[in-house]
Chains A and B, each alone.
Chain A
Amino acid sequence: MAKIIVVTSGKGGVGKTTSSAAIGTGIAMRGFKTVIIDFDIGLRNLDLIMGCERRVVYDFVNVINGEANLKQAMIKDKRIDTLFILPASQTRDKDALSKEGVERILNELAQEFDYIICDSPAGIESGAMMALYFADEAVVVTNPEVSSVRDSDRILGMLSSKSRRAEQGLPGIKEHLLLTRYNPERVLKGEMLSVEDVGEILAIKLLGVIPESQAVLNASNSGTPVILDEDSDAGQAYLDTVARLLGEEVPFRFLNVEKKGLLKRIFGG
């Protein structure tokens, strides 16, 4: 039975799509058959991050409306053969999704895939609700600043009250905290909340900490999930995150300020 994981945050621009792409790719790299669904109807982004924007013919809404079948709409990744993307429609809006339609497609995908990653849109409206409704697990992407933490708290409330598991009285959605854009130097200066601060406020298990990194922007611009950039700190942090999501014990890295060596000081870090 497939595991449905929603990547959500409430707030926009915190790294949901980047994280969805990285986590989905990371799981697929482990040999699990994985599909990433873009729920951000009308603001299609996942295909850009995954570098498959030119191969989008049919989309999620077409499949829901019966205008295309899943095989036609899904895009197979060129780098990892167990990875698929189901892109969002750029021309429709979020009301194009219906609970019944989404359920039917998730059920169909569940026959074939091990992991279904739902990349949620920002906000708490129907699009975001649709993305989280059927989830078994949730990765709550949060930046170390107060407004993002507040919105994550809001989404956590939704997860525990508005999801299928909550409505049917099943065991709750397993919640994970993914802290992105973490900058230990700024935390030390008091400009950012620390891992401990965020953890205390949200009170859920920490899945990973992704350092603020130039590699993320480079990866996005080149259409390569940052997890494939294994030399970068962000790539390594996502690899650790995926390992933890799959149940492995991995120590946290990139939490403290790195001491710069003499060479680094001279040539720049």
Chain B
Amino acid sequence: MSDHSFELKGSLFPLSVLYCQDLSAAAVKTQLQQKLAQAPAFFYRAPVVINVESVTQAPDFEAIAEVFKELELVLVGVCGASAELKKVAQAAGLAALQLSKSKTPAKETKEIEAKTEAATAAPVMETKVVEQNIRSGQQIYAKGADLVIRGTVGAGAEVIADGNIHIYGTLRGKAIAGAAGDNQKRVFCHKLEAELISIAGSYWLSDSLQGEYWGKSACIGLQDDKLVLADLL
């Protein structure tokens, strides 16, 4: 029988990679301080890897490690190092990481690439526009797109979108927004009489929708995993 109390397994984690042309301890400190001032909490004790691809002379890794310590960052190691640089880094107590082949960063990049920044640059969503009433039994799905209905969605009809759903007529059937799991999507309708509204899997039946907004225009979104009704205007 194998012993499960001790295992060493490989795993992948997101790490911030620092690209910096001037790898003198002073320059790194100035640049990092500026970046950290923008979001101190986000980078607190964040693991960072330094990209040394464009470096010709071996930087003073020990001095840089000091800077990281001072700024309360965790310097994990270097990546993109030549065989010679690898030795220097390892001597300074750093790990030499393998760089994935696909990515060759632009040389002028001088900032830490934050994970959140990549996420906010959302791709442009397509929009599917339907210019008619959706009748009972009909189903419309806007894959990877917003859905606009210039008509009424009848009882027993279903409109589904990976994006937002806008209904300019009455919503009497089911509306399912964020079908791919995006909980930021919403349903907008001119008159709310829905059988069901679902956003990223959280749903409300007609009974829960009765109230202030029933029969009126409304916008339905998700907040802390709960559906929230709001004025359209």
Contacts and interface: CB of A to CB of B under 8 A. Distances in A.
A149 B135 CA distance: 11
A160 B132 contact: yes
B178 interface: no
A160 B135 contact: yes
A161 B136 contact: no
B136 A203 contact: no
Interface secondary structure of B, over-half rule? loop
B152 A157 contact: no
Given A201-B154, A203-B152, A154 B133 contact: no
A44 interface: no
A46 interface: no
A141 interface: no
A27 interface: no
Interface string B127-139: 0000011111110
Contact of A153 (B132, B151, B156, B169): B156
Contacts, number: 37
A170 to B, nearest CB: 15
| Interface bin, chain B | 10 to 19
Interface string B57-97: 00000000000000000000000000000000000000000
A154 B132 contact: no
A160 B157 CA distance: 14
A210 interface: no
A151 B154 CA distance: 11
Interface in A110-157: 124, 150-151, 153-154, 156-157
B36 interface: no
Nearest to A153: B136
A9 to B, nearest CB: 13
B138 A161 contact: yes
B90 to A, nearest CB: 68
B155 interface: yes
Interface in B153-169: 154-157, 169
Given A157-B138, A161-B138, A203 B133 contact: yes
A11 to B, nearest CB: 12
Contacts of A156: 133, 135
A126 to B, nearest CB: 16
Interface in B124-150: 132-138
Interface string B35-64: 000000000000000000000000000000
A150 B136 contact: yes
A133 B154 CA distance: 22
Contact of A157 (B135, B169, B172): B135
Contacts of A158: 135, 137
A158 B154 CA distance: 13
Contacts of A160: 132, 135
A158 B135 CA distance: 8
Contacts of A154: 135-137, 156
B139 to A, nearest CB: 10
Nearest to A152: B136
10 nearest A-B residue pairs (beta carbon): A157-B135, A153-B136, A154-B136, A157-B138, A154-B137, A153-B154, A156-B135, A153-B135, A157-B137, A150-B136
25 contacts: A124-B137, A150-B136, A150-B156, A151-B136, A153-B135, A153-B136, A153-B137, A153-B154, A153-B155, A153-B156, A154-B136, A154-B137, A154-B156, A156-B133, A157-B134, A157-B135, A157-B136, A157-B157, A158-B135, A160-B132, A161-B138, A201-B154, A203-B133, A203-B152, A203-B169
Given A153-B137, A153-B155, A157-B136, 4 more contacts: A153-B135, A156-B133, A157-B135, A201-B172
